[in-house]
Structure 1
Amino acid sequence: MFCHYYFWFMSEFMFILDLKLCSKSGRSCMLYPVVLRGRSSLLGPKFKMNVIQKLASLQEISKAQLSVIFSCNTNTKYLILDPRIIRPLERVCGVKWLKGNGVEKIFKLEAVAPNFNDNAVFYMILAETGTFKKAVDQIRAQIDIETCVANKFHIVVVPTCITTFEDELESLGLLDDIVTLHSFIWMPLYLDNSILSLEIPNIFGTLFVYENFYFLSSLSRTFWYLTLVIGKPKLFLALGQNSKAFLTQYELFCKEKGDSDRVSSDFGAVVVIDRSSDYPAALLTPGTYTALLSEVYTVKTGLCESLSTGNEKYDEKFNPIVQKQSVKFCLDSRQDTVYADIKNRYFTEVTSVLSDLTKQLKSEKTNSKDMALDEMKHYVKTKLGDVKARKKYITNHLMAAESIINTLGNRYEKQKIVEQNIIKNSEKSTSFSFLDEILVTENDRYVSLRLFCLMGLLYRLNENEIRKFWAKYLNHFGYKCGIAFNNLINMGFISDTSTTSSSNFQSKLKIPSFTSSNFYTRAKNLKLVPADPDSVNLKHPTCASYVYGGTYAPLISQIASLILSSTPLSEIQAKLEELGPLEIRNDRGYPLQTRSILICMIGGITYAEIAACNLIETLTGASIVVLSDRIINGNDLMRDILEYPK
């Protein structure tokens, strides 16, 4: 589908760059109302605006918590930041606020520390052993324990301190008197309409890959703070081991610290789901515009950014390097009206919308030439600024869409067919042939491993198939990736071939619950797999599976549909209980009195799943807000599987 639009993009893109109505200008800071067009409506009609305002103002709580930490030392401060924290911290508080709280200078955490002089020093880092050690080594290099000033050095750990951090400082004689540890997790960041994210990158790897649960309490505590603002819903549904533990810890916080004093909640229900309950939704190749953006570009904290990396035409294995357009724009429909209209559309529809918008700009350019002087003055005063903004937005999306075509166009259609076959458990040999092909042609350790994981979930892979692929993978990408094999076994993507012989392999397979023989029965009950993907209307969709081209409907959208349609809880329980540990707590709140749902995904949520929930909103007239520790794609999960624990 991609190659047919290449020449159109080039002609329209050249027009945008040459448009004389719009001069080069800085970033617009105007706020635009959300455009609600057809199925792209994001807010249910009954969702009160004050709820949106509450969610957008959550960072005032984060500021208050951070201010308490900074008040531990009233002197002027140096703030040294883990680079991965900088962008989310910008959403929490700006430089002006930091200056107002005594921060004199801000530095990135690098190999060499700045000279601290007599200033108080606050490190803010992610809860990772390697990063913590770097901060401690920098502190030790600049102090004399015998003469060090007390209360000078502070380490703020996001989202929470690990016990080994205290043990390390204590063994070095630094704890409390010289270095003070703080735990800090900001409130969920309101990235866009109906999207809340904590933007903490190491939750999935910690919880699902290495099964360390020390972050779960921080997530529960943050959710408890959130319910003090929005009220405690009367219906809770938790699917997955971590989600059940999350709900249990939340109830403990309510018991120990108290509930919200609000009589009613802004949300009728809360649905908490483990990422592991629906891996296919993260592994499949999406088809909606924003989801494809996150596949091609780096998208962090709602910012799509890619800067030029040089003019290299080939990688280290002499494969052609696809050149991407350099872009930088926020995925925020409150500011970008063009993005508001196209973000949840299937990609082939995006090209049509951008074409129409470009024609409108051409028409305005032509009409402006025939204006009288008074008309021109009025035009410049009232409309020219909006035209400049629209020109900038359209240019950004044209460049991004062209990069999507160039990057994915050579394999998108074929991969879509292969993924449909995998979901249907058919054409296994064809799927392996395609996997071998992209293993070589893409030279991307995430893309090939991602497809293999999808095959491991839904095919019954035997020992020979697993070992054959893994030998090719290690030969191609190096034996440093060997750690991933055990991770895949522990997570249930593949079986443990070291303890299984070929004669009794099938009897000893460790098949995750998602791939048991009853999967297709449950998929049919939940309507996860459409009977005829080609019949799904991608232009005016009525099925959530459109986000994957009709291949698969995300689990969270189907659960939301069941709740919003007042399906009996006993029937919902029967449909979901075989997917994993399930708990439903109903305090006389069902059927929903407030047709709004808060969906919490532990381990990351994709833009495709968000788009599916937006469609359910439009179809049902309800409101769905999604909350997760970060917004991901399948490659992010593969990165966590391939990395060593930190």
Structure 2
Amino acid sequence: MSIDKKLAGFRQISQEKLQNILCSIPSSQKDLVIEPSLIKPLEHVCGASWLRIKGINKIYKFDQENVPPKATTMVYLISSKLIMFKHVLDQIQKLEPRYSEIVDDLAHFHIIVVPNVLNSFQSLLEEMGLFGLVRLHRFNWDFLNLDANILSLEYPQIFQDVFVDNDLSLISSVAHSMRVFNMVFGRPQVILTYGEHSEKILDMVDRMEGFQPKNQQKTCDFSAMVVIDRNKDYASSLLTPVVYSGLLLEIFQSNSGTLQIDVNANKIKSEKLDFLQVNPATVKSTADVTHLRLSGSNDRIYNENRYRHFSEVVTLLSAQAKALGMEGKNLKGMQLAEIQEYVAKKLPKVASHKKDLIKHLILCETIVNELGGQFEKIQTIEESMLFNRNKKQVYTQLQEILSIDAHKFNALRHICLMHLTCGLTNEEATGFITNYLNAFGYKHMNVFPNLTNAGLFPEIENVTKAKLPTISLPKWQSGFQIEANKLKLLPEHDVATKSDPICPSYVFNGSYIPLVAQIASVLLTSESYDQFFAKISSTDQLKMFQYYDRCKESVKDIGGIIKSGAALDAFPLKPKSIFIFILGGLTYAEVAACQLVERLSGAKIVIGSNCVISGRDIVEA
């Protein structure tokens, strides 16, 4: 069975899990109440007709204020957030008197929690006097297939939980899904980790699989697996992408692979100060364009352009619009029979294509309107940050943008990028905080400690000012530049080509190669372990979690073992297929970069994460 067919099989696995839960509830009349944010992810698992076959009578969207009508059994589907659980219990307390007249031993309220039932849930049940009246069920839907070679667990809260709050309660759910992945595709013989949380996940997978005998002879669909923490490459999530799919996510909200389109209430407009808002009357209406499924199988135009440079997309769509205009002119020269054939066979396809084309032209127009004014300036600023050039000038420009074009999350995003690449002094950090709070209000004071916890902003120190002599220091490299140069993430020459890219850095206009794409390229192009070691050994943070039957040995030690003949050389990788998982969120720029590596190497790269994000989503979390 091909990899693509097995990827599609994750849907059936999730359906089996949900079916087992629904069938365990002894009632023929069940109403389902769904948390709004889970509706789109659930569509990747099953549809309304499937739920009705499994005994669900009516389906409601959860509304804290409006209690649903009485049913024999109420089933709630919610995410594992304590506040959401409390809202559901409040509603159940209002419903419970309706069921007091029913004399039986059945629980009439069931709560299905995605992906994990927290210990605090049981305590809250007892505190509210509902213990025994409500049954809890755990539902982990594993990987959802959003698009070709893109998998997502759709747990957007993981970045905040793990990297900001240091709450690892959802890590076990990720480990369970990784174990299912190994069961479907086989465990790869080469597994790399980059980050402490990635290693913890694979440790959990090992303990889960430890109770079962390992069959080392089982064939694996993927020859290598790479698991990376998001904080090991913040740059790829904070930089502004130039690929079409990446820019769409910069402008519009997305939920489980579906873009919510509203040009008058997009991410840019809703997060600017009121006096900077564009008059809604000047913006083209999109009443007929409400959403876009970010899947190549659903939209041919998106499939052809999703990973292209945006400037190329605009050119191609304009050419297609002109070609459609010529279709009408050609009708004038047709005979009656030709017109009849055209109307019967070709016109429906033309009409459908025209509708899709108009949708994408509106999206492109919105991108230009919202980002066009500052786009080139931001690109120049970001490139200067990456190479640690003109730090004072860059800081001044960021402060100017905060003054004249203030954006709540993008302003934070760029100062975080500056901290990572160039470093911020105590004075620079406090100056930015002051200006930011003056612009958006002191209610955002808690934002900066959270960014500090995630490693995105410096910790402010109380330093007594002292007069120090001015010393001219030579240009220095920050830790970011040192690590990026080790892995060759900063191209040494201009490699940006819009129409036919040859370097993954094209996703950031030729200034930076995403870490996942570089690691994938090294794995797929190395002809021997020595060659792989020569390219990757400069960084000590990348660890070999497993190499055949050896676990947690350094990349250097594995090289010595191969030379001694105690282990085989796994390179070149066969089959040429790898799986990459990013804990904390995946960007479309990284997907596009990996897609280019895949095309250039003739390999298969499947990339997954807990969710798909943009740069502003990181700082919002």
Match 1:565 to one of 525, 528, 538:
525
Match 1:394 to one of 357, 365, 372:
357
CA separation in 1, counterparts of 2:595 and 2:137? 38
Match 1:616 to one of 597, 603, 612:
597
Residues 157-166 or 106-115, more deviating: 106-115
Partner of residue 234, structure 1: 189
What are the Cα deviations for residues 109-134 of structure 1, in whole angstroms up to 9, with x where unaligned? 21224344242111111111111110
CA contact (8 A) 2:199 2:545 kept: no
Partner of residue 319, structure 1: 276
- Equivalent residue letter for 1:520: Q
How far 1:442 moved relative to its partner? 3.0
Distance 1:502 1:620, change over 3 A: farther
CA separation in 1, counterparts of 2:65 and 2:429? 44
CA separation in 1, counterparts of 2:466 and 2:546? 46
What are the Cα deviations for residues 508-558 of structure 1, in whole angstroms up to 9, with x where unaligned? xxxxxxx9845434322322111234x422221111111011111100000
CA contact (8 A) 1:298 1:304 kept: yes
Distance 1:576 1:80, change over 3 A: farther
What are the Cα deviations for residues 475-518 of structure 1, in whole angstroms up to 9, with x where unaligned? 2112221112212222222332235555699xxxxxxxxx9845
Partner of residue 340, structure 2: 377
The residue correspondences of 1:44-443 to structure 2 (distance < 5 A) are: 50-73=2-25, 74-144=27-97, 150-175=106-131, 177-256=132-211, 263-307=218-262, 309=264, 317-321=274-278, 323=283, 326=286, 327=289, 328-443=291-406
- Equivalent residue letter for 1:444: H
Return 5+ residue gaps in structure 2 as ranges: 469-475, 549-567
- Equivalent residue letter for 1:591: P
CA separation in 2, counterparts of 1:408 and 1:87? 28
CA separation in 2, counterparts of 1:344 and 1:310? 25
- Equivalent residue letter for 1:639: E
CA separation in 2, counterparts of 1:278 and 1:294? 19
CA separation in 1, counterparts of 2:389 and 2:482? 16
How far 1:320 moved relative to its partner? 2.7
CA contact (8 A) 1:315 1:321 kept: no
Distance 1:626 1:314, change over 3 A: closer
The residue correspondences of 1:586-605 to structure 2 (distance < 5 A) are: 586-587=547-548, 589-605=570-586
Partner of residue 555, structure 1: 515
CA separation in 2, counterparts of 1:211 and 1:315? 30
* Greater RCO (Cα-Cα under 8 Å, separation 6 or more): 1
- Equivalent residue letter for 1:158: V
What are the Cα deviations for residues 621-645 of structure 1, in whole angstroms up to 9, with x where unaligned? 11111111110001111111xxxxx
- Equivalent residue letter for 2:31: Y
CA separation in 1, counterparts of 2:69 and 2:58? 10
What are the Cα deviations for residues 213-269 of structure 1, in whole angstroms up to 9, with x where unaligned? 010110110121122122221111111111111111111121135668982121111
Distance 1:210 1:190, change over 3 A: same
Distance 1:308 1:557, change over 3 A: closer
CA separation in 2, counterparts of 1:273 and 1:313? 32
SS at match of 1:497: coil
CA separation in 2, counterparts of 1:324 and 1:279? 35
CA contact (8 A) 1:239 1:583 kept: no
CA contact (8 A) 2:77 2:113 kept: yes
Partner of residue 558, structure 2: none
What are the Cα deviations for residues 377-407 of structure 1, in whole angstroms up to 9, with x where unaligned? 3333332232222212211110100000000
Residues 79-88 or 310-319, more deviating: 310-319
What are the Cα deviations for residues 10-66 of structure 1, in whole angstroms up to 9, with x where unaligned? xxxxxxxxxxxxxxxxxxxxxxxxxxxxxxxxxxxxxx7x32122123111111101
CA contact (8 A) 1:325 1:399 kept: no
CA separation in 2, counterparts of 1:466 and 1:313? 26
CA contact (8 A) 1:463 1:502 kept: no
- Equivalent residue letter for 1:193: A
- Equivalent residue letter for 1:523: A
- Does residue 456 (structure 1) correspond to residue 419 (structure 2)? The answer is yes
The TM-score normalised by the length of structure 2 is 0.88
SS at match of 1:250: helix
- Equivalent residue letter for 2:122: E
CA separation in 2, counterparts of 1:586 and 1:310? 50
- Equivalent residue letter for 1:389: S
CA separation in 2, counterparts of 1:500 and 1:191? 49
How far 1:271 moved relative to its partner? 0.8
CA separation in 1, counterparts of 2:120 and 2:364? 46
CA separation in 2, counterparts of 1:310 and 1:619? 39
CA contact (8 A) 1:325 1:400 kept: no
Residues 353-362 or 609-618, more deviating: 353-362
The TM-score normalised by the length of structure 1 is 0.85
CA contact (8 A) 1:228 1:259 kept: no
SS at match of 1:256: coil
Partner of residue 529, structure 1: 490
CA contact (8 A) 2:31 2:73 kept: yes
- Equivalent residue letter for 1:62: S
SS at match of 1:196: strand
How far 1:466 moved relative to its partner? 0.7
Partner of residue 563, structure 2: none
- Does residue 470 (structure 1) correspond to residue 433 (structure 2)? The answer is yes
CA separation in 2, counterparts of 1:325 and 1:404? 14
CA separation in 1, counterparts of 2:464 and 2:590? 39
Once the two structures are aligned, what percentage of the paired residues are identical?
A: 34
Return 5+ residue gaps in structure 1 as ranges: 1-47, 506-514, 641-646
The residue correspondences of 1:35-50 to structure 2 (distance < 5 A) are: 50=2
How many residue pairs are counted as aligned between the two chains?
A: 579
- Equivalent residue letter for 1:208: F
Partner of residue 473, structure 2: none
CA separation in 2, counterparts of 1:154 and 1:442? 49
CA separation in 1, counterparts of 2:466 and 2:58? 66
Distance 1:262 1:359, change over 3 A: farther
The residue correspondences of 1:14-29 to structure 2 (distance < 5 A) are: none
- Equivalent residue letter for 2:119: T
- Equivalent residue letter for 1:189: L
CA separation in 2, counterparts of 1:604 and 1:526? 21
CA separation in 1, counterparts of 2:420 and 2:324? 48
CA contact (8 A) 1:200 1:629 kept: yes
- Equivalent residue letter for 2:162: L
